Amino acid sequence: MRMLLILYDFFFIPISLIFVFFFSLFNRKIRRGLAGRLGNFSRLRQKLSQCPAEQKTILFHVSSFGEFLQAKPVMEKLKQKKPELCIVVSVFSPSGFDNIEEQFPVDALCYLPIDGYTVMKKFVETVAPQAAVIVRHDVWPNFVWRLRRNKIPAVLIDATLPEKSVRYLPVIKNLFRALFNQLSAILAVSQKEKNHFRRLLGNDEKVHVFGDTKYDQVFDRSSFGEKFLQFSNHQIFQNKQIFVAGSTWHDDEEVLIPSFQDLAGEIENAFLIIAPHEPREERIEEIRHACREMDIGCALLSELQSGENIEGARCLIVDMIGVLANIYSLGKVAFVGGSFYAKIHNVLEPAVYGIPVLMGPKMRNSAEAIDLVESGSAQIVRDGAEMSRALVRMFQDDSFTRQNGERAKMQVMKNVGSSEKIADFLLTLID
């Protein structure tokens, strides 16, 4: 491992930094990430000074905001069991830093420094945690090596390893085996994933099955927020059979909007809600234009909230963030976007409400999507014709739709509870 780190520090890191600084000239997100790391240590020390010296600390590292949401139920369980615990969250990307708030259960938020030997030594010694948690995949060589050198247990949670990962290839396999062996424990989401890690590591002594906290996150978020309750009883939804399409991209909308038009020809009170993945103004206008081409009247969620006249609308476009997870509850059937574009988004958000899920063919990135399909509570549609047929059947056959929805909810509920088990495991490392 030491020889690998020498090569990593003297060749990979300098070359990577050259590329990072070059691309930062053209990429605003990279510039934000670099700028955010300026003054990182002074801000961190100031926050840590507010925690009493005798308090124990756990460091959670997340790549971005999505991984933070997965880890949040674990942090909350830890705080409930040990309120005096200090929780520090480090992030890699600006999306994490900009969206995470320093409030319960987070005591301090910072960027993870660039993974150089000296700066990572300084970072780990500044935080001085009793344990460190890495969520899902963001495992950096100097980071985990320094944790091990300082005798700080490092645990990878929500761990997955694709069956066809490049990490299994010769030479690369040895590199990642050395890297993952720096960890104290790997908490895999399933037995299948444990087997994948066993294949990589050559043994499974440090790999344990603890489940996926994503299920807890979705279950916790399924309680209705105030923003959702403000409009959920609006008359536009009354006596409607609603099809919710969430986290959509242009490629998804090219399929689902014509399919909804077919559905509307069969179901008089059919209604469509579209929540684009990025509700920017140009994307909203793109969807409105596509609906007008199909003679589908549209309204915006912001117009609904402001009391504007939206009579005759058969489609509502969600032009704000933070409400999609609850909006799925209004639907009879859901479609999860990204699955006609590149990779599917969160299929558990509709499933937790007992709603059957449609998805395009690009869904192999999601173990949850695969599980829903195998359980019979989700269906893959490969084009507009298949989606139209599936929608008509689901909106006409209430018994079929209800059974699929019940299976979807069961699939979520049987996996809820991993956060508490992980929290209990982490407490054994620091007590």
Q: Quote the tokens at residue 358.
A: 């449609």
pLDDT tens-digit series, residues 286-299: 999 999 999 999 99
- Measured over the CA atoms of residue 132, residue 138, residue 139 and residue 143, the dihedral's sign is negative
Give tens-digit pLDDT for 73-122.
999 999 999 999 999 999 999 888 988 999 999 999 999 999 999 999 99
Asked whether residue 311 carries a pLDDT value surpassing 80, the answer given is: no
Sign of dihedral through CA atoms 200, 206, 210, 215?
negative
Cβ-contact 227, 253 below 8 angstroms: no
pLDDT band at 52 (very low <50, low <70, confident <90, very high): confident
Contact 1, 182 (CB under 8 A): yes
Residue 1's pLDDT is: 65
Residue 37 carries which side chain, given as an amino acid letter? R
Residue among 47, 21, 49 at smallest CA distance from 34: 21
Neighbouring-strand partners of residue 378: 357
Residue identified by tokens 């402001």 is 306
- Please give the pLDDT value at position 269: 95
Find the range with the poorest average confidence among 121-130, 223-232, 265-274. 223-232
Q: What is the mean pLDDT of the chain?
A: 92
pTM over 0.85: no
pLDDT surpasses 80 at 142: yes
The 10s digit of each residue's pLDDT in 10-37 is: 888 888 888 888 888 888 888 888 888 9
Q: State the pLDDT at residue 298.
A: 93
For residue 205, what is the DSSP state?
T
* Secondary structure of residue 357 in the 3-state scheme: strand
Residue 322: the pLDDT is 81
pLDDT at 4 over 80: no
Structure tokens at 416: 């809820």
Identify the pLDDT of residue 23. Answer: 84
Instruction: For residues 340-353, give the mean pLDDT.
Output: 95
pLDDT digits (tens, 9 = 90+) for 63-73: 998 899 999 99
- Residues 365-389 have a mean pLDDT of 93
Cis peptide preceding 105, ω within 30 of 0: yes
Q: Is the pLDDT of residue 2 over 80?
A: no
Checking if the pLDDT of 309 tops 70, the result is no
Nearest partner of 138 among 112, 175, 118, 119, judged by Cα: 112
Q: In the predicted model, what is the mean pLDDT of residues 328-339?
A: 97
Work out the pLDDT band at 127, boundaries 50, 70, 90: very high
222-240 residue pLDDT tens: 887 777 877 888 888 999 9
